[in-house]
Amino acid sequence: MGGTKSVFRYFTRTEAALWCFSVLLISLAFMGFDGENYLSLCASLLGVTSLILCAKGNPAGQLLMVLFSMLYGYISYSFAYYGEMLTYMGMTAPMAVVAFVSWFRNPYKGNRAEVKVNRLGRRDMILMLILAVPVTVFFYFVLEAFGTANIVPSTVSVTTSFVAVYLTFRRSCWFALAYALNDMVLIVLWGLASLKDSSYVSVLACFAVFFINDLYGFYRWTKMQRRQEAD
């Protein structure tokens, strides 16, 4: 009972409401448009739980992100979105492990449940943009060779994903906003997929919910950064 109470104290009412809303919307979309692909449902629920934890700067959120990335990679493979498969299995999942180590090794004042936010300099941002160019070009030709569906938004998704994982590893508050941009690209991708197979509406709903959660994550991290820097 004490453990349950501590969990409720850990999350704010806003966070609890956001998580419940996310789970409800994902579940309704699953029951209304899919009802069979429980792997997709599991991935979506893991994802939103990961985002709530990441919004609080909790390293455990990165471990859940690893699981989500592997499941989502398989779902992407089923619709020939090889860019998503390669990005999440080959980049997001490994970088989530690296981010977990980075967050775990940099707690805020010894609190393992909250990472110390890092303010990046201009050089860090320039380096990120420079690295994003060859990553984008390389993946474009790889995706083209694989015959990836909807290759342009798939390539854009690679770029936004790379920026997001880089900022996550560096513990910057901007990582959540980068993921929100990536969510917008994925909404387009899975919207196109849903036109051909309505069962993918559940995945589309998943990323619509992710977009809301990532915006909250950005808001939460900016507040966290101001509080930490003021201490």
**Which pLDDT value is given to residue 8?**
65
- For the chain, residues with pLDDT lower than 50 are 1-5
Looking at residue 11, the DSSP 8-state letter turns out to be S
Residue 178 is assigned to a structural domain of this protein = yes
Residue 170 is assigned to a structural domain of this protein = yes
**Which pLDDT value is given to residue 151?**
82
Question: What is d(CA 24, CA 20) in angstroms, rounded to the nearest whole number?
Answer: 6
For residue range 189-202, what is the model confidence (pLDDT) as tens digits?
888 888 887 777 87
**Which pLDDT value is given to residue 18?**
95
Q: How many domains does the chain have?
A: 1
Look up the pTM and report it: 0.88
Alpha helices in 79-200 (DSSP H): 82-87, 93-105, 122-146, 151-169, 174-196
Residue 8 is assigned to a structural domain of this protein = no
**Token digits of residue 72:** 């989502």
Q: Which range of residues forms the domain containing residue 212? A: 18-230
Residue 27 is assigned to a structural domain of this protein = yes
Distances in whole angstroms, Cα of residue 222 to Cα of each of 96, 121, 172, 192: 21, 16, 9, 33
**Which pLDDT value is given to residue 6?**
61
Residue 150 is assigned to a structural domain of this protein = yes
Residue 24 is assigned to a structural domain of this protein = yes
For residue range 130-166, what is the model confidence (pLDDT) as tens digits?
999 998 998 888 888 877 777 888 888 889 989 998 9
**Which pLDDT value is given to residue 192?**
84
**Token digits of residue 218:** 């950005």
Residue 57 is assigned to a structural domain of this protein = yes
Helix (H, G, I), strand (E, B) or coil at 182: helix
Beta bridge partner(s), residue 111: 108
**Which pLDDT value is given to residue 2?**
42
Residue 2 is assigned to a structural domain of this protein = no
